[in-house]
């Protein structure tokens, strides 16, 4: 089994250099072996600061983007988090060390099966995942303290916004193709406050 300590150390130096300073986020990322979440043929690239292809034309996000999105959720350890788009399971695995429970939805069954196998292998027990349409969210579990999307809708569906608690935070890419932004949405008593963080490129949110 390859030892990735050197590559890991270099990645975390890169992340700190890019302004990722949240100790809890870096610690959670350090505990999750990214090489388990990428195809075996790409193992040697697991700790590059780059997105990588996984099965079924999906991707595992760039570590910097994962770190920024995770930090933007402002987790304290007590939250219930809804994740739209399990993908490889990498983002959910990181969240599992930072919140009370993750509820993760994936519309591609083979990806979900692989992600669940990885959670078992890593003995992660606070991720509940299901096969379904992410655009509909998880109504029976709502409202959630936090919501994170790992795929980009043209605009955030109202049904997902309404599954966010008052006082809660949603982090999501939004927009089409090359015109996407990472947005942070806070639900207040009065409504929703939006802040754009940075331009991003994610696979689209596909309904159904």
142, 148 contact by CB (below 8 A)? no
Residue 113 has pLDDT above 80, yes or no: yes
Residue 16: predicted pLDDT: 96
Which pLDDT value is given to residue 56? 80
Reply yes or no on whether the pLDDT at 177 is more than 90: no
The tens digit of pLDDT for each residue in 51-90 reads: 998 988 788 999 999 999 999 999 999 999 999 999 999 9
Q: Output the average pLDDT for the chain.
A: 95
- Top CATH class of 5-200 equals alpha beta
Distance CA 36, CA 131 (A): 21
Question: Is residue 61 annotated as part of the catalytic site, yes or no?
Answer: yes
The span from the CA of 135 to the CA of 208, in Å, is: 8
Confidence of residue 140 (pLDDT cuts 50, 70, 90): very high
What are the domain boundaries of the chain?
5-200
pTM over 0.75: yes
Whether 1 has a pLDDT exceeding 70, the answer reads no
DSSP characters over 5-73 = HHHHHHHHHHHHHTT---HHHHHHHHHS-GGGGS-GGGGGGTTSSS-EE-STT-EEPPHHHHHHHHHHT
Length of the chain: 208
DSSP strands (E only) in 48-189: 52-53, 59-60, 80-84, 101-106, 127-131, 144-149, 164-176, 179-187
pLDDT at 190 over 80: yes
**Which of 33-47, 51-65, 93-107 has maximum average pLDDT?**
93-107
Q: For residue 81, what are the β-bridge partners? A: 102, 146
> 27, 51, 61, 129: which one is catalytic?
61
Instruction: For residue 206, name the pLDDT band (cuts at 50, 70, 90).
Output: confident
């Amino acid at each position: 089994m390859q030892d990735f300590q050197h590559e890991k150390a270099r990645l975390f130096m890169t992340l700190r250099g890019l302004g990722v300073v949240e100790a809890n986020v870096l610690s959670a990322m350090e505990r999750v072996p990214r090489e388990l979440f990428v195809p075996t043929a790409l193992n040697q690239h697991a700790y590059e600061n780059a997105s990588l292809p996984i099965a079924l034309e999906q991707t595992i996000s760039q570590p910097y983007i994962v770190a920024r999105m995770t930090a933007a959720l402002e987790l304290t350890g007590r939250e219930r988090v809804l994740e739209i788009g399990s993908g490889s399971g990498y983002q959910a695995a990181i969240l599992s060390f930072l919140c009370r429970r993750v509820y993760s939805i994936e519309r591609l069954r083979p990806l979900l099966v692989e992600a669940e196998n990885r959670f078992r292998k890593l003995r992660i027990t606070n991720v509940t995942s299901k096969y379904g349409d992410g655009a509909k969210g998880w109504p029976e579990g709502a409202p959630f303290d936090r919501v994170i999307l790992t795929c980009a809708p043209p605009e955030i569906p109202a049904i997902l916004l309404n599954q966010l608690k008052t006082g809660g935070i949603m982090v999501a890419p939004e927009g089409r193709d090359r015109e996407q932004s990472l947005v942070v949405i806070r639900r207040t008593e009065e409504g929703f406050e939006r802040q754009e963080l940075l331009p991003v490129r994610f696979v689209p949110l596909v309904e159904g």
